[in-house]
Amino acid sequence: MNPKIYRKQISEIGIEDMVIDVSSLQNAMQTMTQLDEYEKVLNKIKFNLHTDIRQLRVDYMKKMQEVEEKSKKKGLLGREKSVDSIVKKKRNIKKARASDIAAYEMIENLVNDYLKQIKESRVYIKNHIQKKVQ
């Protein structure tokens, strides 16, 4: 899946606009429930991101193997392919892999940041609830 789609999914769940409301016990509990839902969705997105990154690495590994196999074959008129062209192709593949994976890792960092904020918010809400109950 495209990183833009993940970004769109994250914006659609509405976590960016969430406000922690602890004005009453009921609001605090609703906020906790909402945080749980966000956490479930974000964990699913994170799992899918890991799957996509893994698949990207496999795809690029196959491309590197293809270049390696092609380099063993003789070129036009029975000449061997130059080492420079092989190295250049491999370097381009590595750059493309790094660029593609970086886009996914940016989304993963965003998801991790939101998950961290959810945990911190959960602690804040629990402390607030305990104070109100006592």
Task: Tell me what the mean pLDDT of segment 46-67 comes to.
Answer: 94
The pLDDT assigned to 83 comes to 79
Helix boundaries (H) for 2-82? 3-13, 25-72
What pTM does this model have? 0.81
Domain positions in the chain = 3-133
Type of residue at 1: M
The pLDDT assigned to 109 comes to 96
pLDDT band at 100 (very low <50, low <70, confident <90, very high): very high
**Chain centroid, CA 42 distance in Å:** 10
Number of residues that make up the chain: 134
pLDDT at residue 26 is higher than 80? yes
pLDDT at residue 80 is higher than 70? no
